[in-house]
Every structure is written in structure tokens, then in C-alpha cells.
Amino acid sequence: MEQHYIDKNKIGRSLLSIAVPTMAGYALQSLYDVVDMIWVGRISSEAVAGVTIFSILLWIGTVLNEMMNVGSISILSQSYAKGNREKTARLVEQSIGGNILCSILAGLMIFLLVKTQLSGFSQDPQVQEAAISYGMTRILFIPFLFASYSLNTALRSVGYPRAPMVMMGISAGFNILFDPLFIFDTIPWTSLPGLGLGVKGAAIATVLSTMISCIIGLAILMRKNAKVRISFLGIFKIKWNEFKHFIRVGIPGGAENLFRNLLSLLLVRFIAIYGTHAITAAGIGTRLFGFAYVPITGAYVAGSTAVANLLGQEDIIGTKKAVRMAILIGVVGIGILSIIAWFFPGHLMGLFIDDQAVIPYGIPMIHTLIPAILLGAVSMGLASAFIGSGYNKPFLIASIIARWFVQLPMLFITTTVLELSIQFVWWSFIVAGIVESLILSVAYKREHWLYHRV
């Protein structure tokens, strides 16, 4: 029996039924990232810089997670649409177990990056200490982080679009409660004692919250009346042919994530030319624009899930409509948030940091990156066509050309050769966004992705 999770007669409504809970979930996720940075910002500017540097290195390691999850979207959604519940359940188990395996390799990779690359970002001992204190805790518990991503993807793919929202909401709530308890000696605005663990406390709060999210996701998929029921032991019975299938489908998406994050790593080095305050502003910007990316992420996840399901139903016309809807949802959503950011940049920066020397770096950054994010909404909407179909090469090619052949040379010339202001760092994102969206538009119109199955 086919599982028509996406109603071909009500594609817009079906897409919103995925996009809205996804946006809400990621908004909550971003909220606790924002709250996390607000609390860390109350420790010191150096603490923010340290967490920022580790976060960049963490992104490099999560390329393996991205590889598994990009493959999972198309494989799980197309399988579910065809109606084979037993096969889909086995594939869900493999996606979670395979990603846990990837997390071990990722943890080793991130550990080596911290040990070998940290000094290249900052010579400030306080910044380095913060990065190590925060990072080692996150690395130790990284399997839970990867498992949580796999569970979220699986739940959306098999007809539970609201479940990830609930998981993220509960996780965010616990993180917001845990942060002041673990970070400070005395919980702010109370006389209650805290544990006083500083940035390490922020990491512990995040880890505990992620573990709670994993428990909830597993409970949903292991229920007797689950749409696709998995077993706990099945997660750890890796079937190498299926594991390799996930990797093959996800390699272009994972490679895109790797090249994107490697550039982010280099970007921090370019920003470091302008000092610790510039790194701090960039770290705040990362969290702030992570929140702004909520509608883009919701549209992208909904679009790619809908594309995969509709292709499983062999509905070509509906698939194209789903992509157009994904672009529209992303652009409208980010447009609304951009208006707020444009008029209140100083207030937004002030939420994160007391150091007034940082804010002048952040205001022009916010103003300049708004057009780049609008271009990102278009690019990610188009990318949903490729991710959903499993034809991921155009996404990889567009990203490499835009970032490595356009943005990176621009960064090097403006910051190192010409020694221009940091404003040119932010403008490079607009140029890269234009190039990426143009390449994806051409690949989309060729329609090879419409006839690709996994």
C-alpha cells in the first residue's frame, strides 16, 4: 500500500504541514543556540570567540552527518511513498546506526582539528582555553548529536512532521534551564547556587538537552502503533550494502557541506586579521543568522521531503510545484525577519554582548548579509529538487564554484593583498550567492533531476 504522505491535490497545504513544524522546531533550536551565546557572552568576549572557533571546527566534522542525512531524505521518503513499511523501518535503523558510526569518525576528526588548528585562529590563551573546554565535552558526546539529526530526518520522511518540532522544543527548554545552572556560580537574577563551570557548563547543558531529544525520537519510532516501527537492536546491526547506498547518494551533499565548512574555517582566519572583536562579532552573527535561516531551512527540508515523496508517486507536475512553493516560503519567511534585522541591528548585537567595542563590527555585517540570505533562500529552494530526487551533483558543483572559485579569491585579494576593510568580507557572500543561485537555476531547468530515482 502506497503511503501518500504528500497529497498531490493539495501540495501547498502538504508542504506547509511539513515546513511550519520544521520552522518552529528549528526556531526553537536556534533560540537555544542564541540563548547559549547570550549566556556565554556574559562570561567574556574571549569565551564567545572560543566557542565560535570550536563551532567552525565542529561543522567540518559534521560533513559525515550531512552525507548520511542528505542520502536519508531521498531514500527514506521515496521508500515510504512506495508503501513498503518493513523495508522503510530497516532503512531508518540503518540511517541512525550508520550515522552513529560516522559520528565516531567525526569526533576523531574534530579532536585532531582542535589539537592542530586552534592556534592558527587565535594566539589569545583565554580564547584557546574556552575553545578546548567547550569543545572536548561536545566531542565526547557527539554520537547523540548525530543520532538526533537522523531521528529528525527519519520522522519527517515517514509522516511525523510535528515530532521533530516537539523534540527540538523540549530540548531547547531544557537547554535554556540548564545553561545558567551549569555556567554560573550563582544563577542570574536569583540567589540560588549554580555549578560555576563556565563555557564547559554551556557544553554540558547542550549535550544533556540533545540526549533528551534522542530519547523522545526513539520512543516515537519504537511504539507498537508507529507508522514505521524500528527496534533498538536493529540500529546497531549495520548492513554494509545499505550503509554504502546511503553514502553513495549522500556524497555530493556531504561534499558540498565539507567545502562550505572548510571555507567557513578559512573565513575565520581572514576575519582574525581584524582582531578578536571581529571574531566575536562573526560568532554572534553566526548564531543570529542561524535563527534567520529558520524559514529557509523549513522550506528546504519540506521541499526536499515533498519532492522525494512525489517522485515516489511519479507525480512530475506536482514535484515542480513543490519546488516553487519551497522557494516562495523561504523568500517570504526570510524577508519578514530581514526587515527586523535591518532596522534593529544594534539592539540584536546588544543582546549577545556587553562589550561595546564589538557592536560596530556587527551592525554593517548584519546590513550586508541580508541580501546574501535572501539569495540563499532561492538557492536552497532550488536545492530541494536535487536533494529530494537524490541527484545531488548540481548542488555540489554550484557550491564549489561560488565559494572556492569566486568567494575565496575575493576574500584573499580584498583582505590580504589590498588590505581593505572587513566590509569586503561580508560583500563576498552576496557575490557568491548570486553565482550559486544562477548555476542552480540552470541545472534545475535542465530537469535531469526529475527522472532520477534512488
Residues 6 or more apart in contact with residue 70 via CB below 8 angstroms: 249, 250, 252, 253, 254, 387, 392
The residue segments making up the domain with residue 196 are: 11-451
The CA distance from 67 to 254, in Å, is 4
Residues 6 or more apart in contact with residue 226 via CB below 8 angstroms: 220
Give per-10-residue mean pLDDT for the chain (454 aa).
56 78 76 74 83 82 85 88 87 95 93 87 85 92 94 89 86 88 89 90 92 94 91 93 90 82 80 81 72 80 85 84 90 85 76 69 82 90 90 90 94 91 89 95 92 78
Identify the pLDDT of residue 1. Answer: 37
Q: Are 388 and 306 in contact (CB under 8 A)?
A: yes
Residue 237's φ and ψ, nearest 5 degrees, are: -100, 85
Q: Give a yes or no: residue 380 inside a domain.
A: yes
Identify the pLDDT of residue 51. Answer: 87
- Number of domains present in the structure of the chain: 1
∠ at Cα 20 (16, 448), nearest 5°? 50
Identify the pLDDT of residue 287. Answer: 66
The CA distance from 90 to 148, in Å, is 18
The CA distance from 334 to 296, in Å, is 7
Helices (H) and strands (E) in the chain, counts: 17, 0
Query: Which of 345, 366, 288 minimizes the C-alpha distance to 34?
Result: 288
Identify the pLDDT of residue 145. Answer: 93
Q: Which amino acid is at 206?
A: T
Identify the pLDDT of residue 352. Answer: 65
Identify the pLDDT of residue 355. Answer: 66
Q: Give a yes or no: residue 6 inside a domain.
A: no
Identify the pLDDT of residue 150. Answer: 94
Identify the pLDDT of residue 336. Answer: 85
Q: Give a yes or no: residue 1 inside a domain.
A: no
State which H helix or E strand residue 68 sits in: helix 63-82
Identify the pLDDT of residue 269. Answer: 81
- Listed in sequence order, the DSSP H helices in 158-198 are 163-183
Q: Give a yes or no: residue 143 inside a domain.
A: yes
Query: Which of 167, 164, 165 minimizes the C-alpha distance to 211?
Result: 167
Could you tell me the pTM of the whole model? 0.76
The CA distance from 30 to 32, in Å, is 5
Identify the pLDDT of residue 317. Answer: 86
The CA distance from 174 to 235, in Å, is 26
The CA distance from 234 to 83, in Å, is 20
